[in-house]
Amino acid sequence: MNADMSEKSVLRAELLGARRLLSTQDVTETAAVLARHALRLSELADAATVAAYVSVGREPGTRALLDALRSRGVRVLLPVLLDDNDLDWGVYRGADHLERAGRGLLEPDGERLGPDAVLTADAVLLPGLAVDARGMRLGRGGGSYDRVLARLAAAGADPALVVLLHTNEVVARVPVEPHDHPHPVHAVVTPDGVTRFTGRNGPAERA
């Protein structure tokens, strides 16, 4: 496990370093392309409720996608970080209803729906630093989304799991530890398009 943890740390540092080199214009232009690709996904097109997040810094941008989903009448849930790193949820009511929270995050104002609100989502947009050829995701290591994925699994919920990434963040292999979520994401969206995953050890398919 120590070797895996070290390998994850090295990969995270490399990917975060690459993100820091991106300009604001790079991030803005990429966000528009990501939104166009993501909106073609049947998993999002058919969803009544999508659990997402507000991108910050040099993360692959989600804001154009959030507004497009909301304009379609989709109920968009955004996370609210709790003191124990678990996630509560609130409804996205537009950019004017976001407030700055800890760690530089942007969270929805208004009613808190509780951690189980994510169980109502037809699709979950997961933040990540990388996805590999099996669909395994590398997060930042805080554990918040591990709890979300565990909550979904415990409830028998099976929403589509989608990750938005920069092109270089689709990698050959993500180190996996025993406590990691054992199932791959369903799709990854990059500026180059969409890749769907057919199974943990199965091939990826370009869409």
Domains in the chain, start-ordered, CATH in brackets?
2-201 (3.40.50.10420)
Q: For Cα atoms 81, 40, 116, give the angle at the middle one, nearest 5 degrees.
A: 25
Token pair in block for residue 121: 């989502």
Is 125 marked within a binding site?
A: no
Distance CA 115, CA 157 (A): 14
Q: Residue 145, annotated ligand binder? A: yes
Q: Please determine, for residue 53, whether its predicted confidence score (pLDDT) is greater than 50.
A: yes
> Is 92 marked within a binding site?
no
**Confidence band for 203, pLDDT divided at 50, 70 and 90:** very low
- 102 assigned binding-site residue: no
pLDDT band at 1 (very low <50, low <70, confident <90, very high): very low
Give the model confidence (pLDDT) of 114-168 as tens digits.
999 999 999 999 999 999 999 999 988 888 999 999 999 999 999 999 999 999 9
Q: Is residue 143 annotated as involved in ligand binding?
A: yes
The answer to whether the annotation marks 142 as part of a ligand binding site is yes
pLDDT tens-digit series, residues 61-108: 999 999 999 999 999 999 999 999 999 999 999 999 999 987 789 999
Which residue in 124, 93, 95 sits closest to 110, CA to CA?
Answer: 93
- The yes-or-no verdict on residue 204 having pLDDT over 90 is no
Q: What is the DSSP string of 20-56?
A: HT--HHHHHHHHHHHHHHHHT-HHHHT-SEEE-----
173 marked as part of a ligand binding site: no
Q: H-type helices in the chain, by residue range?
A: 2-20, 24-39, 42-45, 63-71, 144-155
State yes or no: 118 annotated in a binding site: no
Is the pLDDT assigned to residue 200 strictly greater than 50? no
Question: In whole angstroms, what is the distance from residue 53 CA to residue 45 CA?
Answer: 18
Dist. CA 169–CA 32, nearest whole Å = 18
Per-residue confidence (pLDDT) for residue 202, from 0 to 100: 44
27-41 confidence digits (pLDDT tens): 999 999 999 999 999
Answer yes or no: is 193 a known binding residue.
no
Report residue 185's pLDDT band, with 50, 70 and 90 as the boundaries: very high
Annotated binding residue at 140?
A: yes
- The verdict on whether residue 141 carries a ligand-binding annotation is yes
In contact, 49 and 118? CB cutoff 8 Å: no
Annotated binding residue 27: no
